[in-house]
């Protein structure tokens, strides 16, 4: 179901692990601009603090920012996502985690899903205690970094209603379209594969493609 645009400023604290990357920075800026209490994390606490000062948000080591969070967004390079989740599991505790990662394989001028079995998000769910949701894979950092929110929808899936609600609420702040509940965590296989699809479209048309779900009520 689509989620209505948030009306009031919320005091939810969102920690972005790997907040120094292209996607993490774009998420931090846009969430902060809509009143979310954002903290950016890095393996390098100095780098995070410097970036945080530029964006007007808290910046610190990954281990520190996740401790006070209501939602952890895992936004490190995809190849490092599972290991990073494992290494932060104690610090994250029972806090919900949103995986934005997509495992990709680049070959012969095309982009392919990096895995054909379980999604990265499902594997991350195996190594942390709290609920895991997956989403935002169809958003491009470059689109999020534009002055206006991108004219597209955002998809989130997961098995825990409260965790999904938090992620959908953040998603609704990022786009001009809607944040759409796409179903259980197993749907992350499709969301992660969608990134490969969109990157092939981008290459074909020289754009930053996004998605819209039509015929919603």
- The stretch among 3-11, 41-49, 106-114, 162-170 that binds ligand NAP (CB under 6 A) is 41-49
Query: Taking the C-alpha atoms of 92, 59, 164 and 169 in order, what is their torsion angle to the nearest 10 degrees?
Result: 160
Least separation in angstroms between CB 19 and ligand NAP = 7
Our finding on whether 85 is near ligand NAP (CB under 6 A) is no
140 binds ligand NAP (CB under 6 A): yes
For ligand NAP, the closer of residues 39 and 139 by Cβ is: 139
Q: What is the nearest approach in angstroms of ligand NAP to the Cβ of residue 92?
A: 15
Give the nearest residue (CB) to ligand NAP: 21
DSSP state of 137: T
According to CB under 6 A, which residues from 165 to 184 bind ligand NAP? none
Q: Is 137 in the site for ligand NAP (CB under 6 A)?
A: yes
Nearest approach in angstroms of CB 179 to ligand NAP is 15
User: What does the alpha-carbon distance between residue 209 and residue 202 come to, in Å, rounded to a whole number?
Assistant: 6
* Buried/exposed 6-41: b ≥16 CB within 10 Å, e otherwise: beeebebbbbbbbbbbebbbbbbbbbbebebbbbbb
Instruction: Report the site for ligand NAP in 89-118 (rule: CB under 6 A).
Output: 100-102
47 belongs to the binding site for ligand NAP (CB under 6 A): yes
22 binds ligand NAP (CB under 6 A): yes
Choice from 3, 76, 98, 179 touching ligand NAP (CB under 6 A): 76
82 binds ligand NAP (CB under 6 A): no
Distance between CA atoms of residues 153 and 214, nearest Å: 10
**Rg of the chain in Å (alpha carbons):** 16
Which one of residues 78, 88, 91, 170 is an interface residue with ligand NAP (CB under 6 A)? Answer: 78
In the complex, the smallest distance separating the C-beta of residue 186 from ligand NAP, rounded to whole angstroms, is 19
Residues 6+ apart with CB under 8 A from 83: none
Q: Which region among 31-39, 53-61, 75-83, 145-153 touches ligand NAP (by CB under 6 A)? A: 75-83
Measure the CA angle with vertex 133, ends 173 and 146; round to 5°.
30
Alpha carbon of 23 to those of 16, 91, 128, 192: distances in Å? Answer: 10, 22, 22, 15
Cross-strand partners of 99: 74, 134
In angstroms, how far is the first alpha carbon of the chain from the final one?
A: 9
Q: Where does this chain bind ligand NAP (CB under 6 A)?
A: 18, 20-24, 42-44, 47, 75-78, 80-81, 84, 100-102, 136-137, 139-141
């Amino acid at each position: 179901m689509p989620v209505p645009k948030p009306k009031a400023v919320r005091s939810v604290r969102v920690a972005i692990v790997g907040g120094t990357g292209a996607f993490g920075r774009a998420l931090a800026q846009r969430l902060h601009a809509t009143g979310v209490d954002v903290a950016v994390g890095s393996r390098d606490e100095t780098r995070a603090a410097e970036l945080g000062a530029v964006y007007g948000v808290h910046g610190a080591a990954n281990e520190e920012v996740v401790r006070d969070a209501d939602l952890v967004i895992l936004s490190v390079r995809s190849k490092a996502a599972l290991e990073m989740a494992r290494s932060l599991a104690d610090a994250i505790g029972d806090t919900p985690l949103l995986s934005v990662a997509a495992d990709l394989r680049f070959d012969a001028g095309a982009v392919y899903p990096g895995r054909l079995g379980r999604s990265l998000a499902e594997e991350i769910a195996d190594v942390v205690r709290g609920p895991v949701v997956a989403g935002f894979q169809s958003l491009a950092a470059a689109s999020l970094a534009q002055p206006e929110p991108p004219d597209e929808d955002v998809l989130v899936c997961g098995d825990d209603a409260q965790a999904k609600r938090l992620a959908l609420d953040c998603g609704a702040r990022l786009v001009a379209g809607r944040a759409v509940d796409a179903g259980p965590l197993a749907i992350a296989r499709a969301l992660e594969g969608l990134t490969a699809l969109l990157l092939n479209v981008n290459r074909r048309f020289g754009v930053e493609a996004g998605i819209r779900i039509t015929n919603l009520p």
